[in-house]
Structure 1
């Protein structure tokens, strides 16, 4: 097997024809069609070409052949938008596997049949597709922010279990309600005594849940039922502390009124949001929202697999994306047409007779390029990392947060705010970021050492768009984890098992190193983002409100003083 027989070394196959007189026959297949497998075997056996070209890259070829998968590079895995690229790749892989199960054909069986038939006949095999990681990266980079949001939303409400989607929505609502309760709690009837009870109940519940989880781990009882039991214990203890008022005096004596009110408002907001999420989950289950993916697959029950030869599964799905993401579809379909055509033209010009096995959705585009090679875009434009199109809103927001944070403390200092007050405010920033980042990382399954590192650096990374606390947590976690591409197959197998309870499936998914790492990294970053939002929307107004200080007036005074200093230097 050679990646490209046209320039393979040291013993390349000899073409059967003179240079420039080669030929290419395209066989378009459906990646989940049994008929396609039979067609591939028959065409290769009949043609006996010099080379059998297949729509595979090196990584997918090795995985298909059952070789030991490559470990993933931690640096590549933790940087940039890799989490979302992984989700996009997983989505494509999962849908193809589900359709393969529906038709009782292993996804990629057509490619495997081509390779095995070529090997049986002593023919050379060429891998002519672009590396899948490059394709997914370019696919994600070419999508706009709105398109990415629509895609993630479709995944959340079309593939995710309604209960999970509903609770996630509720928690988002809860995060937004926390600042509202803190700022306008008095008008809503939220007394200091009520918030003190809520805070006490939250502390008691968290401690009880952690203790129950620790005992379960010590006695090797850790599982999803065990986690649920720990959460149930924490909830019962928290409710009991809230109702009885036990421990309120101790908590209010240990924490300042400001901290008690802040924690109580946040917890109360999350509890209300959780209730909203449960209600949303019930509504979604009753109305059928979130079951679209299953219904779409069920539509194929009476469908003839032979009809899939008009377009392969992945391309057919991505053609729908073309309606709202021309750039994303171009990276996944059009660029690969051109890339594969480049490889086939090169083989043909070298004098090789070629049978190319590609997804039927690529056939038309490739044949068009083979007929007019002069229309092919330069090969260098089809490889490498793509730069995101449009305004890089992520970087804009990231740098904006950094500038706003530095300007906030600088202007307060220029306005004459005392150092000890600034240190107190900075300490609140440090603690809130650390608590949320470390807490969510631990909830996602991180070790205490990894979660602690993410929490300790969260204050700094939340104001630096080039860093993320999840990277630090992830690198620490990788000391105990080894991730490879086979993990995606394990995840697909788990999601395809409809006989097991949801809790067991989720528990086993967290046992897959790649999924656990992605969730830990994402949870750490989300924790820091949420903490930063809460700090700006709730802590800062409450901090200065408690001292009866107008923060806006302070910022204006700081700006005027800064302007005087700058003018004095320039003058």
Structure 2
């Protein structure tokens, strides 16, 4: 049996066999099957968390998604990003005529066939994203979203040579490669911390012989980290939200209201002009975001009316209201959720599918409202200074 892409480690009376794979490689899947059959391990560790494992084994999981609950729990952006990354992997897999994550599916099946204990060894993807998201500011968040979607919706095909290069990268890292060069500190939550988490889970796997199916990017790190002990609780702790955004979030509305109030006292006409500017800039840009998302006219109107109000209250957002109206008027059907796996292949599919369109409307309405707040706030300040 070829030992290519296989790393063997003996430690504390256990043998660990690490298989470095590409997440869309047919050869990797075949190698996983061969290694598990030949080695007959006590346990098989796979680079999946519970959420992604369920996504693989439950093909109809989208049927049960409550779009209203997603909006209410403020998970629209996260879900949209998860779908976008899934789109990237599925597009590559389709090009090469295989299933995305086929090597993980093979690991699951081979573990069952060979009576090995299956270990879900990766950290929850939402925790990883939360730790990434907390590491960048507003500009970084916009760049991150742009990088993800730019990498996903490119029309370029992927060559066999590119696929081989991806064997040295994590599936998420492959999309965020350029972004991590701009923000080197993201390597810690994206790769380094997961190396530590994976290494500890592999060490704790039951039995004396353990096979681990991993993206090849993690193998060097795990080889080093498996010699150490790591605190899984610390690695899964979501960083506390900074108080700064909350302070800024409440300071801006208070400042805007104060500026308009003072202007009204000195020059009522200028005060009315400030109010009009606030209403029009906020409402127009938020409504424009919904229109770009091909929202229903009622959703566009809702964004226009809600944005000037929600911009003065950090606890609510225009996108929520626009999203609720869109979901109510153009309620996604079971068929929309069933088609998600196909529709996320393209930009057109994201806009065409009623479920993803609701998510887009929530995100775009909020982005529009944020931009409108910046422009309107600047104009309110200008009018205040002019009338001092």
Q: Do the two structures share a fold, i.e. TM-score over 0.5?
A: yes
Query: Which ranges of structure 2 fall in alignment gaps of 5 or more residues?
Result: 1-11
Deviation string 1:94-152 (CA, Å, 9 cap, x unpaired) is 33333323433322111111111222233332212122222222222223444444444
Aligned length: 372
C-alpha contact 1:143 1:327 (8 A) present in aligned 2: no
C-alpha contact 1:23 1:354 (8 A) present in aligned 2: yes
Query: Equivalent residues in 2 for 1:461-476 (5 A)?
Result: 461-476=310-325
2:129 to 109, 132, 136: 136
SS of aligned partner of 1:27: strand
Counterpart check, 1:512 vs 2:353: yes
Name the CA distance, whole Å, in 1 between partners of 2:218 and 2:379. 53
Q: Against the structure 1 CA distance between its residues 58 and 465, is the aligned structure 2 distance closer, same or farther, given a 3 Å change threshold?
A: same
Name the CA distance, whole Å, in 1 between partners of 2:67 and 2:232. 26
C-alpha contact 1:34 1:105 (8 A) present in aligned 2: yes
1:30 to 22, 47, 56: 22
1:492 to 329, 335, 344: 344
TM-score by length of 1: 0.56
Name the CA distance, whole Å, in 2 between partners of 1:432 and 1:440. 12
Give the structure with higher Rg (CA): 1
SS of aligned partner of 1:358: strand
Q: Specify the alignment match of 1:6 in structure 2.
A: none
Following superposition, the deviation at residue 481 of structure 1 comes to 3.6
Q: Against the structure 1 CA distance between its residues 45 and 338, is the aligned structure 2 distance closer, same or farther, given a 3 Å change threshold?
A: same
Name the CA distance, whole Å, in 2 between partners of 1:423 and 1:357. 64
Name the CA distance, whole Å, in 1 between partners of 2:310 and 2:201. 44
Query: Equivalent residues in 2 for 1:306-455 (5 A)?
Result: 309-316=167-174, 318=176, 320-348=178-206, 351=207, 353-373=209-229, 376=230, 378-387=231-240, 398-415=249-266, 417-418=267-268, 422=271, 426=275, 429-430=278-279, 433-434=282-283, 436-438=285-287, 440-442=289-291, 444-455=293-304
Deviation string 1:261-304 (CA, Å, 9 cap, x unpaired) is xxxxxxxxxxxxxxxxxxxxxxxxxxxxxxxx445x45x25x28
Query: Which ranges of structure 1 fall in alignment gaps of 5 or more residues?
Result: 1-19, 161-292, 496-504, 545-550, 556-571
SS of aligned partner of 1:347: coil
Name the CA distance, whole Å, in 2 between partners of 1:401 and 1:344. 48
SS of aligned partner of 2:210: strand
Q: Against the structure 1 CA distance between its residues 332 and 90, is the aligned structure 2 distance closer, same or farther, given a 3 Å change threshold?
A: farther
Name the CA distance, whole Å, in 2 between partners of 1:343 and 1:54. 10
Deviation string 1:183-230 (CA, Å, 9 cap, x unpaired) is xxxxxxxxxxxxxxxxxxxxxxxxxxxxxxxxxxxxxxxxxxxxxxxx
| Cα-Cα RMSD | 3.7
